[in-house]
Chain A
């Protein structure tokens, strides 16, 4: 028997599917999630309610959502710049950690008497840290034509080990009972809180500013146009005279700096010190966010909130229902899987056909 459904190429890509595909993927993810709860012996409705609804029921819940969305927005809008130009930076996680190291390093210099002016210095250092980390990838690609996919990914593990080495060595808190972590940052070196009584800090505003700036850049500015042309038609970019090398460096430095800022804010915001597990995989989740958001800053903001919800929902499912927190990763994976599946419908249409018996 052959499959009763086949895919036939469309004459033209379906425009409406561009945006309905992510929505369809979200719905399918929720359905698969419900099935997953049922298989684990939970009431699916109750499970989804804990996972998706309870985080939104309180003011604190919303602030936590914004807190988690912040690094995702920062990383994903930067990745969108890369992906639009066909620069496959998948090492935002490493750039985020490098930013956390650089920003955290400046924060560790703060004393009891330090002024608030150290905050911009921390953010600047974090941006530079992330940008330097991304620059390694850019240089290797530019100089030796090394695959940026492999290099940026492998640099993630280098960054993680560098951080682990620092917090177990030079930066280890002498009063930390031997735990691999730095001392707590002085209060002057902590990100200022935006909403009293919550953990939501100015990083949230910064993320929105970054999304807005990048929207402006991609939609209105010459560099955004060049990135788009280079991504869609490299030959046309050469014809127009856009420098591939310049665009490669630009895309990687911008996304590296933004991921670095995300790391610096995470370290000096909610975490408050450097630990080996500073990021629960924000840099990788941001890849999914960038694609679910259609590489568009506005779409990315919405997708970031959804992904943040998965993070918080996973924690709640663990504490309330006793389910493993790996559920967050499962939901993320499901979403990407369904998105990729739904995206085929942009270029193909399903065709129902009568089952055909294949003769032996």
Chain B
């Protein structure tokens, strides 16, 4: 059989670094192939080569046995290649249907919306075609991206970490979809860090390390441990065991409500929550259910809120972010690009963002910020050319390590984290989780919002589920199953749970 996609000796350099070093890979029709590797291993670059976003310096690409030169995504789509990116490529001010229409041949929006809804129903991707993208959460945006790729009826579908924002049940359905697509003869390239998912859904797995293809293995014959070893090139670091002390309540939230603010995209309905000293509280849920609003309100980015936020005994509901930072509260936002960091600015300039002391007296102390950036790069193992490198030049995982490091190094007493390891490879994720555990040990109160249930079960002392702006009762992770949490995510939690 002719391979659907064949790569021969594909090489791509960016300046000094080789992102892809003579990579050869074949994908057969109807085959689901995983591309596995740490952040910066060259996975994204390789996919961008196939999708025509990046031009290889050397090598050949064959599709259905014919050599092709894919010089643009339009050309890739004409050849039957579709891609779902990790960072979304959507126009905020357009509706969902309009965004999808942009990549397709002209067609009335009404028929397109109908097709979109049909597709959405088939793959259980819950969307409203008339909504504008800026009103959508990250999770909803990803669903739009997946739908958009499926609208072109591709013969090769590339997915860059597609499951990171889906409910466990929805992941199952997505995998059913992928398997159905494979039966229909569509080839799938699947990038993920989640080894269990790779083992569940893919047939073969190509492992990249440092830009080279180090192995191509039959996924179903591997264990997660052997895959991890292939990817890292050594045994993966282990999670430090943690005991759970409980201390005084340092962050007390009562009756938090944003339903009065008409322009808010996410409403909170009278939330209450306590976080203690030396405790990690996890909040599970599908994004778009009020988590963004909760984090914005707790961090001080949104001040127009009703209810009370008590931080170390003082009321801070109407105190701005610098004021809360001064009290020891720090925040790591979900979106790294443009929120946690300014992509166009260098790392040393990005340090200044949340270090109010470096801006004291009206002047920016760039000498100290450079020093601090160097310390962060060293201590948190950020792979970069130096403190002068633009934040945009770092891979997603490395930028996350930098941002997490920036906030942790400030020795917070309360830390809010939204999706600590979203799009981060296994090695970096373990490093970040260990930092959070160390921080807890030092007495910091930590509130984590995440869609990664494994992560929450691993880290949390208490677990809540958020759905439609409301919070479930708290439970200890050992006392509830993943399936129950999945059910709670739809808002179906019992009214009475044994209080913790």
A interface residues, Cβ below 8 angstroms from B: 6, 8-9, 11-12, 220-225, 228-229, 232-233, 235-236, 238-241, 243, 351, 353
Contact = CB atoms under 8 A, between A and B. Distances in A.
A8 B342 CA distance: 25
A236 B53 contact: no
A222 B364 contact: yes
Contacts of B125: none
Task: Name the interface size band of chain B.
Answer: 35 or more
Given A229-B342, A236-B341, A8 B362 contact: no
A329 B333 CA distance: 48
Interface of B: 14, 48, 53-54, 71-72, 299-301, 320-323, 325, 331, 333, 335, 338-345, 349, 352-354, 356, 359, 362-364, 366, 392-393
A15 B135 CA distance: 34
Given A225-B352, A229-B342, A233-B342, 15 more contacts: A9-B53, A11-B48, A11-B54, A12-B14, A12-B393, A222-B359, A224-B364, A232-B338, A233-B338, A236-B339, A236-B342, A239-B339, A240-B354, A241-B300, A241-B322
A232 B72 contact: no
A277 B349 CA distance: 45
Contact of A235 (B48, B339, B362): B339
A229 B53 contact: no
Contacts of A223: 362
Given A9-B53, A236-B340, A241-B321, A222 B363 contact: yes
A221 to B, nearest CB: 6
A220 B363 contact: yes
Contacts of B343: 232-233
B71 A8 contact: yes
A11 B17 CA distance: 15
A236 B321 contact: no
B362 A222 contact: yes
A9 B48 CA distance: 12
Most B C-beta atoms less than 10 A away, residue of A12, A220, A225, A236: A236
Nearest to A15: B390
Contacts of B331: 239
**Shortest beta-carbon contacts, A-B, top 3:** A241-B321, A222-B359, A241-B322
A8 B76 CA distance: 13
Contacts of A238: 301, 321
B339 A351 contact: no
A228 to B, nearest CB: 7
Contacts of B48: 11
Nearest to A9: B53
Nearest to B48: A11
Contacts of B323: 241
Given A221-B363, A225-B359, A11 B53 contact: yes
Most chain B C-beta atoms within 10 Å of own C-beta, residue among A220, A222, A232, A243: A222
